[in-house]
Amino acid sequence: MNYNSFLNKEISDFLSLEVPGFPEPPQGRKVIMFSEGRPNFSRFPLDKALPYVQEVFKTEYQTMLQYPPIKGNPELMKELRKLMEKYVSLKGTEDDDMIIMSGSQQALYMVSRILVDPGDYIVVERPTYLEAIFAFTYNKAKMLGVNQDENGMKTDELETLLRKLKSEGKRIKFVYTVPNYQNPSGATLPMERRKHLYELASQYDFLIFEDDAYCYLSYEGKALPAIKSLDTEGRVIFTSTLSKILSPGLRIGWVFANKEIVKALLAAKEVIDLGVSGISQYLATIWLRNGIHEEFLKIAIPWYKQKRDIMLEMLDELFRNDAHWTKPKGGLFIYVQFNNKKVNTQKLLEYAKKKGVLFVSGQPFYHDFSVLNTIRLNFSMPTEDEIKEGIRLLKEAYDEYLSS
């Protein structure tokens, strides 16, 4: 069968995109993985979490095995509201509402699905979360990029861009931002920039799509208040997820936004999947209610922080003259930019693979794939010894690559 004449244009266009991929680990050989973006569950408090699995099935099985409410389980929403208030000082207004999503990935897809007509302009950070680029591309948004420095998106640059667009009679639908411990950069958007971004949204009449997956993983005190907490006009669509705090396997994320936006998402979600798994929602509720996430964070935060520090020390020892990098206050990633603009990290990866260490080239995190001399390093998955050894191997690979 040749399916080319059956697949529609939307998916055919998407499939034909040439996206620089993530590295596959070589078969049958141990490699040090700095390339993952996952939480490390080797210390998940299973002994504490497991009894609740049985308890929730015993008490709730009639409801949890049923079709869930499409919008989500109200008890879960109560717990999520507590999380938002505790971690990012977010309460919202009376006009705000919530909908449970299958991970915040579904929020990325659905929010752009309901807002973007093909060819509409949106703004993304350079670099930004790769899967968000995919969702926006699939929904045919035209992405414009605003650069980051060590403090995240340069809102002055955004202002210049908005002015220019306005003079050309163009508008943007939304700005997508990951303000805390960004993926991939690790940067945090300071309060002044959050305010500036919100003022610009008001002035130039666009929405802000705030994706906060990492606010729970703070290593230097509490995360800053969400941009959504500044929102008096209903301009901010906030999404977050349980993936980094409990489990990505639950596939639970949510959107917290003005009720008109939630109404549109609800209509679209009914068509797409009739709601998120009730089993996941009930399990998440009982775990959150009984503080399993806090038990996990109590272990994960000092542990990840220690690994971050070791990685920073190793980079300082070995790459001081060749590169600069972010010093993230939370999250899972350090982002390295080589001083030499000609470094092609996709090629460097081939050398690193041979040495037994993997990273992700920063290239796919740019909506135009235009930057080649950066890499994203994850510190949550490797052990402390692997971090030391891995950065050493990376340096050897880098030297070999340069002298080739």
How crowded is residue 285: how many other Cβ atoms within 10 Å of its Cβ?
A: 23
77 or 314, CB closer to ligand PMP?
77
| Closest separation in Å from C-beta 47 to ligand PMP | 25
| Closest separation in Å from C-beta 110 to ligand PMP | 12
| Closest separation in Å from C-beta 169 to ligand PMP | 32
| Closest separation in Å from C-beta 243 to ligand PMP | 3
| Closest separation in Å from C-beta 245 to ligand PMP | 10
| Closest separation in Å from C-beta 106 to ligand PMP | 7
256 or 351, CB closer to ligand PMP?
256
24 contacts 360 by C-beta, under 8 angstroms: no
CA separation for the pair 125, 366 (Å, rounded)? 8
Contact set with ligand PMP (CB under 6 A)? 37, 103-105, 129, 178, 183, 211, 213, 241, 243, 248, 253
183 or 326, CB closer to ligand PMP?
183
- In the three-class reduction of DSSP (H, G, I as helix; E, B as strand; rest coil), residue 126 is classed as strand
104 or 345, CB closer to ligand PMP?
104
| Closest separation in Å from C-beta 241 to ligand PMP | 3
338 or 379, CB closer to ligand PMP?
379
List strands edge to edge, sheet with 142-149: 96-101, 253-258, 236-241, 207-211, 172-177, 121-126, 142-149, 152-153
Half-sphere exposure of 74 (CA within 13 A, CB side): 0
57 or 219, CB closer to ligand PMP?
219
228 or 395, CB closer to ligand PMP?
228
| Closest separation in Å from C-beta 248 to ligand PMP | 4
- Residue with nearest beta carbon to ligand PMP: 103
Token look-up 């938002």 returns 84
The secondary element (H helix, E strand) that includes residue 385 is helix 384-403
56 contacts 183 by C-beta, under 8 angstroms: no
237 contacts 92 by C-beta, under 8 angstroms: no
155 or 185, CB closer to ligand PMP?
185
Helices (H), 36-184: 46-64, 74-88, 103-115, 130-138, 155-167
Token look-up 């449970």 returns 100
Mention every residue, 6+ apart, whose C-beta is less than 8 A from residue 283.
52, 53, 56, 250
DSSP for residue 1: -
